[in-house]
C-alpha cells in the first residue's frame, strides 16, 4: 500500500494521543513477532484474535473505553433503557416455564444491558435464580461489577471464564458478540477459496492471498455460486460457539442480537468485498491494519450458517426478525408512553427512533432465536418472523 493511500485513509480519522499510539506500537510489535514465527504470513483470524484479545494488549482486554460517546461505538443498551426492558420481557416469558431458571450473558460490555434486564425483571417479579456472565476482559468485568452492584443482594451474579458444559436452564443472551469473533477472510481463485493472511510491509501490514486453499469455505462457494475474485468471510468460531451452546443449554432460549443477513444476502453478488468493518472513535472504515489494538474489528453474521450449526447441535430454530419488529412485538411503544415526565419521554422518543428506524439500527440489526425443550411461542417474533429465509 502506498504512502499516499495510507495518508488518505488516515486523514479522515482523529489521531490517537501519545499513550494510545504507544500502546498500538506494542501491539504491532507483538503481531510482527507472530508473523515471523509463522514463516512470514499470519492467518487473518489469528491476526484478528491478537489485536482484539491478546492478553494485556488486545482491544477488548486493554483499559481503553470502548462503549458510549467517549469510546468507539454505541450499543443499544448504551442509548437508554428501552432495549433492555424489551429483552427482559422476553426473558420473563421463558423463565415462567423454566424453574429454576437463570440468565447467561456473553460479553456483557459495560454491564448496562444486564442492569436494565435485572431492573425490569425486578419490576415484573421474575428475577432469575442467577445472572451469569462470560467475560474475558478484566477491565470490562470491573465495569460490570460496578453496574450490577445494586442487584447483588437480590440475585446471584457471577462471572465465568467459560459457559457451563451442560445442564443450563433459562436464557442465553448474546448482544453484539458474534460479530467480534475472529473470522476467516477468503478470496475465490480458480473456483477454490484461498484463506487470507497478513504479512509485513513498509507501512505496517498488508493482505496476503497467496496461501493454500481453505476447505472450510468450499461449501460456501458451491452453495452460493461465488465467482472468481469474490472476497468475503466465514466464521468457524461462530459455528463452534453454536455447538457449545447446544451442549450447554438443556432447556430454554438462545437469543442473539447482531447485525447480519441470511446466507443468500450475505453472499449476494453485489457484496463482493465481504462485510469486514473497523470502528474507531465513532467512525467506520475498512482498514483492519490501522492502529492495531486501538480499533474494533467486526464482520456481519451469516445467520443461515448459525442456524445450521445450531440445528446440528440439537437446538430448534424459533425465530429470526429485524430489531425493529422484535422491539415493537415486545411493546416498546407502550414503554415509551408509560412515563409522564415530558423530558424523560422526549429522550425515550429519540431512543425509540435510534432503535427502530430503518435508517438507524432497526433493520440492520437482527434478532435470532433457537430453543431447546420448550414449546412456548416467543412474543418477540409475533409481528414478523423471517425464520424461513434462513
Q: How far from 43 is each of 199, 264, 272, 349, CA to CA, in Å?
A: 9, 26, 21, 45
Task: Spell out a b/e string for 117-128, using b for 16 or more CB atoms within 10 Å of the CB, else e.
Answer: bbbbbeeeebbb
Report yes or no: 90 and 255 within 8 Å, Cβ to Cβ: yes
The helix (run of H) or strand (run of E) holding residue 282 is none
Q: How many CB atoms lie within 10 A of CB 62?
A: 20
Average pLDDT of the residues of the chain: 91
Read off the pLDDT of each residue in 84-103 and give the average, rounded to a whole number. 95
- The 8-class DSSP code of residue 281 comes to T
Average pLDDT of 307-318?
98
* HSE-CB of 245 using CA atoms within 13 angstroms: 33
Q: What is the pLDDT of residue 8?
A: 35
pLDDT at 211 over 80: yes
Q: Residue 166, Cβ neighbours under 10 Å: how many?
A: 9
Instruction: Order across the sheet with 197-201: list the strands.
Output: 42-43, 197-201, 204-208
Taking a C-beta distance cutoff of 8 angstroms, is the pair 249, 372 a contact? yes
Please state the rounded mean pLDDT for residues 192-207: 94
The predicted model gives 130-149 an average pLDDT of 94
Region 363-386 average pLDDT: 96
Strand 156-160, strand 130-134: pairing: parallel
- Evaluate whether 63 touches 140 at the Cβ level (below 8 Å): no
Whether 379 contacts 324, CB under 8 Å: no
Element (H, E) at 204: strand 204-208
Q: Which of 160, 313, 200 has the alpha carbon at shortest distance from 246? A: 313
* Preceding peptide of 100 cis, ω within 30°: yes
| CA 167 remoteness from chain centre | 24
Give residue 117's pLDDT. Answer: 98
Give the total residue count for the chain. 390
* pLDDT value at 193 more than 70: yes
For strands 168-175 and 156-160, give the pairing: unpaired
Percent of the chain with pLDDT over 90: 79
Grid coordinates representing 382 are: 409475533
Mean of the pLDDT values across residues 117-123? 97
188 Cβ contact partners less than 8 Å away, ≥ 6 residues apart? 194, 221, 226, 227, 228, 229, 230, 231
- pLDDT of 64 higher than 80: no
Strands 184-189 and 192-195: antiparallel
pLDDT band for position 5 (cuts 50, 70, 90): very low
Instruction: Tell me how far apart the alpha carbons of residues 227 and 192 are, in angstroms, rounded to a whole number.
Output: 10
Instruction: Compute the chain's Rg from CA coordinates.
Output: 21
Write the CA distances from 290 to 109, 125, 206, 383, integer angstroms: 23, 48, 10, 42
Pick from 310, 326, 270, 298: nearest CA to 390: 310
Give the pTM. 0.92
Q: Cα-flanking dihedrals φ and ψ of residue 260, to 5°? A: 170, -170
Q: What is the pLDDT of residues 323-357, one digit of tens each?
A: 999 999 999 999 987 666 666 778 888 999 999 99
Distance CA 255, CA 274 (A): 25
Amino acid at each position: 500500500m502506498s504512502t499516499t493511500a495510507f495518508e488518505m485513509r488516515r486523514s479522515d480519522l482523529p489521531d490517537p494521543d501519545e499513550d494510545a499510539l504507544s500502546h498500538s506500537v506494542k501491539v504491532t510489535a507483538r503481531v510482527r513477532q507472530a508473523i515471523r514465527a509463522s514463516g512470514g504470513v499470519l492467518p487473518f483470524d489469528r491476526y484478528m484474535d491478537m489485536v482484539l484479545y491478546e492478553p494485556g494488549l488486545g482491544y477488548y482486554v486493554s483499559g481503553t473505553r470502548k462503549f458510549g460517546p467517549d469510546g468507539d461505538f454505541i450499543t443499544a443498551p448504551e442509548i437508554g433503557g428501552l432495549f433492555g426492558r424489551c429483552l427482559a420481557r422476553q426473558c420473563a416469558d421463558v423463565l415462567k416455564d423454566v424453574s429454576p431458571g437463570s440468565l447467561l450473558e456473553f460479553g456483557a460490555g459495560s454491564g448496562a444491558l444486564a442492569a436494565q434486564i435485572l431492573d425490569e425483571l425486578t419490576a415484573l417479579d421474575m428475577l432469575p435464580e442467577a445472572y451469569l456472565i462470560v467475560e474475558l476482559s478484566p477491565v470490562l468485568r470491573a465495569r460490570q461489577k460496578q453496574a450490577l452492584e445494586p442487584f447483588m443482594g437480590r440475585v446471584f451474579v457471577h462471572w465465568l471464564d467459560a459457559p457451563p458444559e451442560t445442564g443450563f436452564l433459562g436464557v442465553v443472551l448474546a448482544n453484539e458478540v458474534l460479530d467480534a469473533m475472529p473470522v476467516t477472510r477468503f478470496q475465490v481463485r480458480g473456483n477454490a477459496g484461498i484463506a487470507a493472511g497478513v504479512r509485513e510491509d513498509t507501512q505496517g501490514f498488508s493482505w496476503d492471498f497467496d496461501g493454500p486453499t481453505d476447505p472450510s469455505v468450499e461449501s460456501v462457494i458451491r452453495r452460493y455460486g461465488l465467482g472468481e475474485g469474490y472476497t468475503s468471510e466465514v466464521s468457524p468460531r461462530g459455528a463452534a460457539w453454536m455447538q457449545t451452546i447446544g451442549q450447554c443449554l438443556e432447556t430454554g432460549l438462545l437469543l442473539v442480537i447482531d447485525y447480519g443477513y441470511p446466507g443468500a444476502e450475505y453472499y449476494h453478488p453485489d457484496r463482493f468485498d465481504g462485510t469486514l468493518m473497523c470502528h474507531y472513535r465513532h467512525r467506520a472504515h475498512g482498514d483492519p491494519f490501522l492502529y492495531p489494538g486501538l480499533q474494533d474489528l467486526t464482520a456481519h453474521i451469516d445467520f443461515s450458517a448459525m442456524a445450521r450449526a445450531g440445528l446440528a447441535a440439537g437446538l430448534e430454530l424459533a425465530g429470526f426478525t429485524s430489531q425493529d419488529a422484535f422491539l415493537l412485538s415486545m411493546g416498546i411503544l407502550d414503554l415509551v408512553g408509560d412515563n409522564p415526565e415530558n423530558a424523560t419521554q422526549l429522550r425515550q422518543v429519540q431512543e425509540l427512533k435510534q432503535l427502530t428506524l430503518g435508517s438507524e439500527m432497526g433493520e440492520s440489526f437482527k434478532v435470532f432465536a433457537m430453543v431447546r425443550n420448550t414449546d412456548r411461542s416467543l412474543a418477540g417474533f409475533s409481528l414478523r418472523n423471517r425464520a424461513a429465509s434462513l
